[in-house]
C-alpha cells in the first residue's frame, strides 16, 4: 500500500463525532486531517496511523502515548489535545491552530526577521520547555516544522518523540536538528532540548539550519561544531553567544533553559 494507501475524503467519518474536512499531510507513519467536531462545532486536527501502518505496534503506541501526555499538559505555547481515541482506530484530536509552521514561514519570507522576533520566538520555546521539563519530560524534536507561529505567538506541536530523561532505546528526532547525544544514543537531558532551541533560533535568524546532511556524509554535528551564527548575519553579541552556546556539542557546556531565557528577556526589555 505505502503512499498509495487510501485517504479519507471530505464528509467521511474519521471517528464518531468527527467528519473529515481535508487531508493535510501523510508522514512515514501517520495521516493528519482537518476534521469537524460535531460536539464542539469547530474544526480540529486529527492524527491517525496510516492504513498500511494500522497493524504496527510502534505507530499506535507512539500516537496514544503522545495523546495521553498532551492531555496532561496545559501551556499557552504547547498545542492542546482534546481527546485520545482508541476505537474504531487510534486517533489524537488536537486544537486547530492559526498561523503556519515556522518552516513554511522561513521558506516563503523575503527578508530575515527582526531581533525582537527572534527573541520572542526563543522566549516562547524556553517557556514551553521549562514547563515540559518541570513535568519530567523532554520534547526531543524541536525544529521549525514543529513550531506554529501566528501574530508573534509560537506554539510547539508534535510530542511524538517526547521521552523521560535518560538513555533512549532508539534514536529519536529529526536528523537535521538532532543533538549529538541523540544520534549516538547517549543519555538525554534538558540540555538536549536546549540544543533544539538553539537550532530553531539559528535557522530562524539566518534562513538556514546550523548543519547540512548531504547524502552519504553522516551527521555533521557529531564530528564538528556549528559555524558561529554571526558568520551568516549580524546579531547582538549576547544573542549570538546564546545561540552558539546552545549548539555546543558537549551537553554539560550548554546553558540552561532559564539562562537562555534571561538573555532573551534582556533583549526585549
Same domain, 65 and 120: no
Same domain, yes or no: 88 and 124: no
The reply to whether 155 and 234 lie within a common domain is: yes
Residues 90 and 104 in one domain: no
The Cα 128–Cα 147 span in angstroms is 11
| CATH code, domain with 41 | 3.30.200.20
User: How confident is residue 251, by pLDDT bands cut at 50, 70 and 90?
Assistant: very high
Please tell me the distance from the alpha carbon of residue 22 to that of residue 15, in angstroms, as a whole number. Answer: 14
pLDDT attached to residue 254: 98
Please check whether residues 139 and 249 belong to one and the same domain.
yes
Summarize pLDDT for 111-170 with one digit per residue, the tens: 999 999 999 999 999 999 999 999 999 999 999 999 999 999 999 999 999 999 999 888
Residues 115 and 214 in one domain: yes
Distances (CA, A) of 194 to 46, 174, 211, 260: 29, 15, 16, 8
- Same domain for 72 and 112, yes or no, is no
CA-CA distances (angstroms) from residue 32 to 21, 44, 50, 186?
11, 11, 9, 31
**pLDDT of 268:** 92
DSSP 154: E
Please tell me the pTM assigned to this model: 0.94
Task: Provide the number of structural domains found in the chain.
Answer: 2
Chain-centroid distance, C-alpha 236: 26
80 and 164 part of one domain:
no
As a whole number of Å, the CA-based R_g of the chain is: 19
Domain that holds residue 191: 100-268
* Phi, psi of 259, rounded to the nearest 5 degrees: -70, -40
158 and 220 assigned to the same domain: yes
CATH number at residue 119: 1.10.510.10
Q: Is the pLDDT of residue 2 over 60?
A: no
95, 126, 143: which is the final residue of a domain? 95
Confidence of residue 65 (pLDDT cuts 50, 70, 90): very high
Instruction: Report the C-alpha gap between 19 and 40 in whole angstroms.
Output: 12
Q: Is pLDDT above 60 for 263?
A: yes
pLDDT of residue 216: 55
Q: Say yes or no: 238 and 187 in one domain.
A: yes
133 and 38 housed in the same domain: no
Amino acid at each position: 500500500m505505502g503512499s498509495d494507501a487510501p485517504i479519507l475524503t471530505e464528509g467521511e467519518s474519521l471517528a464518531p463525532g468527527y467528519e473529515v474536512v481535508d487531508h493535510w499531510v501523510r508522514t512515514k507513519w501517520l495521516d493528519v486531517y482537518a476534521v469537524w467536531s460535531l460536539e464542539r462545532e469547530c474544526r480540529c486536527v486529527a492524527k491517525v496511523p496510516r492504513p498500511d501502518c494500522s497493524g504496527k505496534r510502534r505507530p499506535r503506541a507512539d500516537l496514544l502515548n503522545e495523546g495521553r501526555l498532551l492531555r496532561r499538559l496545559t501551556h499557552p505555547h504547547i498545542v492542546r489535545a482534546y481527546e485520545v481515541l482508541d476505537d474504531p482506530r487510534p486517533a489524537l484530536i488536537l486544537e486547530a491552530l492559526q498561523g503556519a509552521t515556522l518552516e513554511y514561514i522561513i521558506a516563503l519570507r523575503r527578508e530575515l526577521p527582526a531581533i525582537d522576533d527572534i527573541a520572542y520566538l526563543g522566549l516562547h520555546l524556553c517557556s514551553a520547555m521549562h514547563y515540559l521539563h518541570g513535568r519530567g519530560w523532554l520534547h526531543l524534536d524541536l525544529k521549525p516544522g514543529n513550531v506554529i507561529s501566528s501574530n508573534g505567538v509560537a506554539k510547539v506541536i508534535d510530542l511524538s518523540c517526547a521521552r523521560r530523561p535518560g538513555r533512549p532505546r532508539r534514536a529519536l528526532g529529526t536528523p537535521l536538528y538532532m543533538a549529538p547525544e541523540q544520534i549516538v544514543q547517549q543519555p538525554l537531558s534538558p540540555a538536549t532540548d536546549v540544543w533544539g532551541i538553539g537550532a530553531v533560533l539559528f535557522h530562524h535568524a539566518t534562513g538556514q539550519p546550523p548543519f547540512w546532511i548531504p547524502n552519504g556524509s553522516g551527521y555533521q554535528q557529531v564530528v564538528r561544531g556549528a559555524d558561529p551564527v554571526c558568520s551568516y548575519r549580524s546579531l547582538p553579541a549576547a544573542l549570538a553567544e546564546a545561540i552558539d552556546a546552545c549548539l555546543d556539542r558537549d551537553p554539560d557546556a550548554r546553558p540552561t533553559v532559564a539562562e537562555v531565557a534571561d538573555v532573551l528577556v534582556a533583549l526585549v526589555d
